[in-house]
Every structure is written in C-alpha cells, then in structure tokens.
Structure 1
C-alpha cells in the first residue's frame, strides 16, 4: 500500500467556513487511512495500536476546534499535510513518532511521578529543580 501526498497540489483558499470544514474532515480521513502504513514503516505494533494513534490524531484536531477563520484553517491543514507527508515519506525517525504521538509531549513530566518511589528527598528535589 503506497500513500503519497507529493502529487497533491495545494488547493486554493477555502471560500467559506463550510468548505474549510469539509476539507478538515477529508484530511482527517486520509490521515486515519494512512495509519496502517505508518504502523508498518515505523514498526509501532509493540508500542501502540491503530486506535491509539487515531486518538492522538483526533486530539491534534480538537486542539484547534475553536478556529473559525477559513484562512487559518487552510494554513493549519497545510501544516497537517506537511506533517503527514513527512511521516509517510519516512522523514522522521521512530523515536520522533513515539515521542510525539504515542507518549505525548507531557511524557517526561508524567513519568517523574511514577519513578519517584524509593528515591531520597534530596534526589526528588534535585530532579524537580532541574526539570521544571
């Protein structure tokens, strides 16, 4: 299965919010359809499922759900297409995908709380002062 976005030209700006909205849904569908390919390229079967990656993509879309300017939506879609193209064309490494879409941006902060068991107060304070 081959999926490329290189042949896709940048469409003209959306005329109205409804057109931009349809483009967002189309892009979401294409991103979700590329997930099996991404799983194979980066060998992610041991760290995530397709549904977890789909949830991560949906989270990225929900972050910008309040945007109502069609030009801004088009710009966000272009950035999303670039990101998807980079992922599918293997321009990223496996640890980039895992860090960004599996663990999330708050991975290190979340891990600090669980790894503190059995560490002295001195080390806890030292780690807190250096990470925050």
Structure 2
C-alpha cells in the first residue's frame, strides 16, 4: 500500500524559494508518517517500538537540519530522505538495521522505549544495548 504511494512521489529538482522547500519538507514528513504502519508490519517492530516513537524519530531527524537555509541543500536532503524511506519501504534493509538506526540509537544509552519496557525481557534489553553501542 505505501509502496504504491512512494512510487509516485518524487522530489522536484529545485525549489524556487525557502518557503517552497519548507512545504516540501512538510510533504515528505506526511509521506513518511503515512508509510509507518506498513514499515511496522514489514519489519515486525511491534515488540520493540511504536508508530508514535518512529514518528518522533523522523521529526527529530528533520529537526537536525533546521539551521539549513539554502533551498538547494534542503532539496538535496529531501532527496536523501526520500531515498532512505524508499529503501526502508522496499525492504532493502534488514530488521536489525531499522532497530539500530531508528529505535535504539534515538533513545540514547541503549534503553528500550519506556512505554514498551515492561514486556521486554532483560535478555533483550542487554542484547539491544550490547549490539548497538
């Protein structure tokens, strides 16, 4: 379902202004958030994270570049973001890549999401902590 939506989404080569680039960033964020249910399903992430946590991770990745004011640089970052999203949705990555990049590292110190903390065994907590830091 999200695959079909991503096939039709393309980042135009040049934004005319900073405002246009800003709108494209919001469109990218919406597209990424709409693909999260299928990402959760593809990689079976229900036991390690939630859609809201992944949404927050996407937002924080976008916020890392709030200092950028050149529309061409923003377009380049959008292109890279769209490429990453397409790789994730097309299942070009493995589950441990997704967990390492977007679940564990974003939480810091290797801790598993506190909302999901009760259902995870100490073995898995140590496993995630040991393999990603």
Give the TM-score normalised by structure 1: 0.77
Q: SS at the partner of 2:58?
A: helix
Aligned-CA RMSD value: 1.6
Q: Higher helix share goes to which structure?
A: 2
Q: Distance in 2 between matches of 1:6 and 1:62?
A: 25
Question: 1:105: how far off?
Answer: 6.3
Q: Distance in 1 between matches of 2:10 and 2:107?
A: 34
Question: 1:50: how far off?
Answer: 0.3
Aligned match of 1:3: 3
Figure out how many residues of one structure are paired with residues of the other and give that number: 109
Q: Distance in 1 between matches of 2:107 and 2:54?
A: 16
Q: Does 1:74 align with 2:75?
A: yes
Aligned match of 2:44: 43
Question: 1:27: how far off?
Answer: 0.3
Give the TM-score normalised by structure 2: 0.76
Aligned match of 1:101: 102
1:58-81 CA distance string (max 9 Å, x none): 110010011000000000000000
CA contact (8 A) 2:32 2:85 kept: yes
Aligned match of 2:19: 18
Structure 1: stretches of 5+ with no match in the other structure: 112-132
Q: Distance in 2 between matches of 1:48 and 1:9?
A: 28
Q: Distance in 2 between matches of 1:86 and 1:6?
A: 12
Question: 1:2: how far off?
Answer: 3.7
Aligned match of 2:120: none
Q: Distance in 2 between matches of 1:94 and 1:24?
A: 26
1:55–1:73 Cα change, 3 Å: same
